[in-house]
Amino acid sequence: MQLRRGMFAFVAVSALFSVGQAARAENISDVLDRNTALYSNQRQEPAVLEQVIADLRASLDRADDPTQKYDAYLLLSRALYFKAMHTSDGKADIFMDGRHVAEACITHAKARLNDQRAECYYLRAINMGRWGEAVGLLDPRVIGQRHDFRRSVLDAMNFRRDAGSDEPLRGANGQPVMRFAKDGTPGVTYDSYGPWRSLGRMYNRLPGFFGGDNNRAETILRDAVRLGSRLALNHVYLAKVLADLDKKDEARALLNRLLSNASATFNPDRVPETADEFEEARVLL
């Protein structure tokens, strides 16, 4: 019996070693393709999401190509953000992990990609923002980092950082100098105007004595809805600001128009997130 147990243990360890060896030998491009597909299609399944996170962490040490390493950091930070959004245990710590991965991505981009990519600045900002909501917006740690959050959002768009300005940096010819997403679009448009949406959300959520400003939030989020109309969260955030400004009839009309769509077809690339956002809209009503 002891011999049989020993043989089973040997076989199990050998199998795990073989799987590990195969994963380490796998081409980084294949790792990224496989995990991008898994994340895109099955991220709402916890076991699949955990495997994606583990695979991406393991791939970072082996990624030599600067763009592939950037993409691995980016997908890992996004996967951690999604995990934190759908868990009740350790939420703040997972958001902080996502932030740290995004910061490593930014450091990598500065060293190897001339700092032209926008996405990891944005992932840093949204992980920071959700971390702040998880620990409490009046927590001294959150209040102390509110300027860092704003700078991350502005950096994703390459906007000026000076207080009171939400304007792009401009070159000698007067034209905006922007960071860009992987597909070549300006950073401000990434994730359906995600940086712009995040800036509006920040002005809405912060207390007035720490820089909150619902009128400013309304202006920004109206732009986000107009320019990124196929992302439900833009509508939800604007509705919350309108309600806070006592424009409740307009907020209800906005949410009812949103919910007149089918959540599964509203944005085919974000089915799990859109379902959550539609539910949030129903609760607000």
Is it the case that residue 46 has pLDDT exceeding 90? yes
- Mean pLDDT value of segment 252-280: 92
* 3-class secondary-structure state, position 117: strand
- Over residues 47-57, the pLDDT tens digits come to 999 999 999 99
* CB neighbour list of residue 16: distance below 8 Å, 6 or more residues apart: none
- Looking at this protein, which amino acid is placed at residue 81? Y
- As a whole number, the mean pLDDT across the chain is 84
Which pair of structure tokens corresponds to residue 100? 């740290």
Q: What is residue 15's predicted lDDT score, i.e. its pLDDT? A: 43
Q: What is residue 172's predicted lDDT score, i.e. its pLDDT? A: 55
Report the DSSP beta bridge partners of residue 180: 117, 186
Report the DSSP beta bridge partners of residue 168: 159
Phi, psi of 117 (to 5 degrees): -90, 145
- Mean pLDDT value of segment 43-67: 93
- Mean pLDDT value of segment 101-109: 94
Four-residue CA torsion sign, 43, 44, 48, 52: positive
- Mean pLDDT value of segment 226-247: 95
d(CA 235, CA 221): 8
**Residue 45 carries which DSSP code?**
S
pTM of the model: 0.82
Is it the case that residue 58 has pLDDT exceeding 90? yes
Nearest CA-CA partner of 194 in 241, 234, 226: 234
pLDDT band at 167 (very low <50, low <70, confident <90, very high): low
Q: What is residue 13's predicted lDDT score, i.e. its pLDDT? A: 41
Of residues 39 and 114, the one with the higher pLDDT is: 39
Q: What is residue 51's predicted lDDT score, i.e. its pLDDT? A: 97
